[in-house]
Structure 1
Amino acid sequence: MKRFIVFLSLIAAVVIGCQQNNEVTTFQETGVVIDYAGAGNCSFVIELDNGNRIQPLHSPDDFDFAHGQRVLVEYSELENVIPACDRGTPSDVTYIEELSCAPWIDLYFENYDSLARDPIFLHEAFIDGDCLQLKISYSGGCKNHTVDLAYMHQWNPGGNDIPTFEIRHDANGDVCEALVTREFRFDLTPLIIEGEKKFVLKARLYNGEVYNEIFEIK
């Protein structure tokens, strides 16, 4: 009888050990969404504040990723998955919340040319909450491109008082011709706090024209 009890105890210990080994470790971190579209087989990667990077292979259906978002994320690592992209650990994201959008860059007379003005295709531009949402495309696929929203501070006395922004794209000399499409979100909170009711958005387009649109802040 004692041997039987000991045998059952050993079985229970093995079962419990297996269950413990199968437990999934969940992490909660903050970080920034980076869109690596056009870079190999990569897409969205979250660069965490702790220095790690994760690839959200699974995520909530109601969350839309965009470059530059600062997020709170809960995730577990998918240890047995070999990713096609080498820029982060494959992960199952169970919860994600946008904390803020990407900030703009201030440009003045003395640093006006510090950001490139390579052309883009602009598909969408609209205000979503406190953020400006952009969907753009460009030719590339061989080098990393950067896209910034620049606040063009007035240096002409008596100039237009409406805040003016430019979409600044740096292709880094990429001569490849694949069409890369990305979405961006930029924070308008400082403008809203200042009580501004409208702003101008400009961009250099591929057809040689300059996009120029006035947006109203509601």
Structure 2
Amino acid sequence: MNTKFLIVTIFAVVVALTGCNETTETPRQETGIVMDYAGSKHCSFIIELDNGEQIQPFHYPDEFTFTQGQRVLIRYVKLPNIIPTCDQGVACDILHVEEIDCGAPLTDLYSHNSDSLANDPVYLQEAFIDGNCLNLKLSFSGGCREHTVDLARIHSLEENSDDTVELEIRHNANDDPCEAFLTKTLSFDLTSLKNDGITRFYLMANLGDETYKKLFELK
């Protein structure tokens, strides 16, 4: 075989293989919550995005420190050619990350507007308080329409006098006919409760065949 032809052929193959490793991913910007999966199948910090996806910070700014329950705004690109040892989400380059506040405020519901928010069933996987934030991990069926989730403070004439109120997860499935199992991680700001001197609250949710109700302490 002609030596010159062989060199050109090898060069073309190398260029082609190198091109296959390049990513054409467009940078994305999302918000989410940092979860510490350390000790679970070679995992470390995972960011559970509000859109339901999970990503793994493969590279990120040296000056930033991830902690459990942080709510963050990130700009990132996926790394589809990297197969991580952790099976939670995809590897990503974090181009920018900053800690933000809890996110959504509470919605006040009184007797005159108690039906203004839908109350479709959810599956409550996790609920925990971090600082002034109530973090929720919810699942529900859907996939064809946009779902919204609010956290409502229920005001009534029979509110307890011992600094305890009721908060209810209100899910609007918008009559979604699809049955894919979707998961969202959400965060709600409890600052208004603390400002009102509230020290405890009941968290409630429609689980379909039963009602979830659990008492939480505010510190």
TM band (smaller chain): 0.5 to 0.7
After superposition, give the CA deviation of every residue in 1:67-119 in whole Å (9 maximum; x if it has no partner).
Answer: xx5x555x5779xx9xxxxxxxxx95334222211211111111111110000
Aligned equivalents of 1:118 and 1:111: distance in 2? 17
User: What one-letter code is carried by the residue in structure 1 that aligns with 2:97?
Assistant: I
In structure 2, relative to structure 1, the CA distance for the partners of 1:145 and 1:136 (3 Å cut) is same
CA contact (8 A) 1:63 1:96 kept: no
Q: Which residue of 2 aligns with 1:201?
A: 203
Task: Tell me, yes or no, if structure 1 residue 166 matches structure 2 residue 181.
Answer: no
Equivalent residue pairs, number? 158
Structure 2 residue identity aligned to 1:96 = V
Q: Distance in 1 between matches of 2:154 and 2:59?
A: 37
Deviation at 1:59, TM superposition (A): 6.6
Which whole-Å CA distance do the structure 2 matches of 1:59 and 1:169 have between them? 35
Counterparts of 1:9-158 in structure 2, within 5 Å, are 35-37=50-52, 43=53, 60=60, 62=66, 71=72, 75=75, 92-101=93-102, 102-154=104-156, 156=157, 158=158
Letter in 1 for 2:146: N
- What is the identity percentage for the equivalent residue pairs of Structure 1 and Structure 2? 44
Which position in structure 2 is the counterpart of 1:176?
Answer: 178
Residue identity opposite 1:128 in structure 2 = D
Contact in 2 for aligned 1:152/1:164 (Cα 8 Å): yes
1:213 and 2:214 matched: yes
Which amino acid in the other structure matches residue 106 of structure 1? D
Asked if structure 2 preserves the Cα contact closer than 8 Å seen for 1:59 and 1:95, the reply is no
Amino acid at match of 2:50: D
Any idea what the Cα deviations from partners look like across 1:138-158, whole Å, max 9, x if unmatched? 01111111111011112x2x4
Structure 1 consecutive aligned stretches of length 4 or more whose deviation exceeds 6 Å: 55-59, 63-66
Instruction: Give the aligned residue type for 1:35.
Output: D
Q: Output the CA distance in 1 between the equivalents of 2:172 and 2:134.
A: 19
Secondary structure of the 1:112 match is: coil
The one-letter code sitting in structure 2 at the alignment partner of 1:124 is: E
1:193 Cα deviation from its structure 2 partner: 2.6
Cα 1:195–1:119 change in 2 (3 A) is same
Letter in 2 for 1:205: L
Against the structure 1 CA distance between its residues 32 and 110, is the aligned structure 2 distance closer, same or farther, given a 3 Å change threshold? farther
What is the CA-CA distance between 1:135 and the residue it aligns to? 0.9
TM-score by length of 2: 0.60
Is the Cα–Cα contact under 8 Å of residues 131 and 185 in structure 1 kept in the other structure? yes
Describe the SS at the equivalent of 2:100.
strand
Structure 2, gaps ≥5 residues long: 1-28, 33-48, 81-91
